[in-house]
Chains A and B, each alone.
Chain A
């Protein structure tokens, strides 16, 4: 009963480093999302995907890239880490749009850029 799996759980980066946050789901969901949550704030959408090979920008895409080569995986890439990207990152997935939008979240990645 894995659901949505994110790795790593914690990471510290130096300014200018790059890394990839991994996300995998085993529920055969078409829709996948990346959110960031800053302290005391709600979740902001970074990128989303409605199916393999299809991605689109959310509210705060700058500094990030994504790919969706398979239904299961949706990695998030930070190319040149900046302190403003210090946040908790959540990956989520959902059923195809049928009038019932329920997101299943991963456990999050806490990222610090110093």
Chain B
């Protein structure tokens, strides 16, 4: 059975801290891994990763994929209160019209 596991489930940090969110997966026919940020309602796209070792970066956020060890990390540096959200990891499988989502990591950044 295809599975996506995120850790930690929740995290509370102070502004300025750096955080690392983890996503591990067990799927057949892996195609890509995606990260989404969910603030109040709809998830919004952050990154899509398909190749190992290539870092994707957007401002203070970055992500990398390890296809050998079957995991990805999402890093956020110099966190701000606006980074408070649920971060969702999802895996796309070849031949399936679906994304398998993890349960998410709830990040809270306090001033």
Secondary structure at the B interface, as helix, strand, loop or mixed, is strand
Please report the number of residue pairs spanning A and B whose Cβ atoms sit closer than 8 angstroms. 55
The answer to whether A31 and B97 touch across the interface, beta carbons within 8 angstroms, is yes
The number of residues on chain A lying at the interface, defined by a beta carbon within 8 Å of a beta carbon of chain B, is: 27
Contact partner of A101 (CB less than 8 A), chosen from B34, B41, B42, B43, is B34
Distance of A56 Cα from B99 Cα, bound (Å): 14
Q: Which residues of A contact B97 (CB under 8 A)?
A: 31, 48, 50, 56, 97
B: number of interface residues (CB 8 Å):
23
- Shortest CB-to-CB span from A16 to chain B, Å, is 28
A71 to B37, CA, bound (A): 27
Contact with B along A66-101 (1 / 0, CB 8 A): 000000000000000000000000100000010111
Mark A residues whose CB is within 8 Å of B. 4, 31, 33, 35, 40-45, 48, 50, 56, 58-59, 90, 97, 99-108
Task: Give 17 pairs: A residue, B residue, CB < 8 Å, sorted on A.
Answer: A4-B42, A31-B97, A33-B98, A35-B101, A40-B9, A42-B4, A42-B103, A42-B104, A43-B43, A43-B88, A90-B42, A90-B43, A101-B99, A102-B34, A103-B99, A105-B44, A108-B41
